[in-house]
């Protein structure tokens, strides 16, 4: 994803050889290469900062989602407890239907 933003690899830097003229390395060639290295390091630092921000946001989202899961589990537990512990039998359902029929049809 970020590889297209960085020109040099660590191997490129390690294996770089400059041409030597009569007074040593050519300063213009070295300066040009170092400019590329500096640009890459700046870009890498930018990438690291962006990833740190993204990581922080993901951690915050994760915490919020965990809290939401806890809240939903609590609501489920409350609903299960109010429903006879979640063990509704056929007889309970039939009693409820019978009560509803009596209310609806007025048969007491």
Average pLDDT, the chain: 80
Residue scoring higher pLDDT (40 or 23): 40
Query: How would residue 56 be classed by pLDDT, with cut points 50, 70 and 90?
Result: very high
Residues contacting residue 19 through CB under 8 Å, at least 6 positions apart = 25, 26, 29
Mean pLDDT, residues 66-72 taken together = 87
The two counts, helices (H) then strands (E), for the chain are 3, 2
Burial (CB count <10 Å: 0-12, 13-18, 19+), residue 60: exposed
Q: What is the DSSP string of 53-70?
A: HHHHHHHHHHHHHHHHHH
Give the Cα separation of 91 and 4 in Å (integer). 68
Residue scoring higher pLDDT (80 or 96): 96
Tell me the two tokens of residue 33: 């290469």
pTM above 0.75, yes or no: no
Tell me the two tokens of residue 26: 């050519």
| Of the candidate ranges 22-31, 53-62, 82-91, 98-107, the one whose mean pLDDT is the lowest | 82-91
Residue 1 has pLDDT above 70, yes or no: no
Map residue 103 onto helix, strand or coil. Answer: helix
């Amino acid at each position: 994803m970020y590889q297209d933003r960085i020109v040099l690899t660590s191997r490129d830097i390690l294996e770089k050889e400059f041409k030597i003229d009569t007074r040593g390395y050519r300063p213009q060639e070295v300066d040009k290469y170092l400019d590329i290295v500096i640009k890459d390091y700046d870009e890498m630092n930018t990438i690291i900062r962006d990833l740190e921000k993204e990581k922080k946001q993901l951690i915050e989202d994760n915490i919020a989602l965990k809290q939401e899961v806890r809240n939903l589990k609590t609501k489920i537990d409350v609903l299960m407890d109010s429903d006879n512990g979640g063990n509704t039998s056929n007889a309970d359902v039939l009693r409820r239907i019978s009560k509803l029929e009596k209310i609806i049809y007025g048969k007491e």
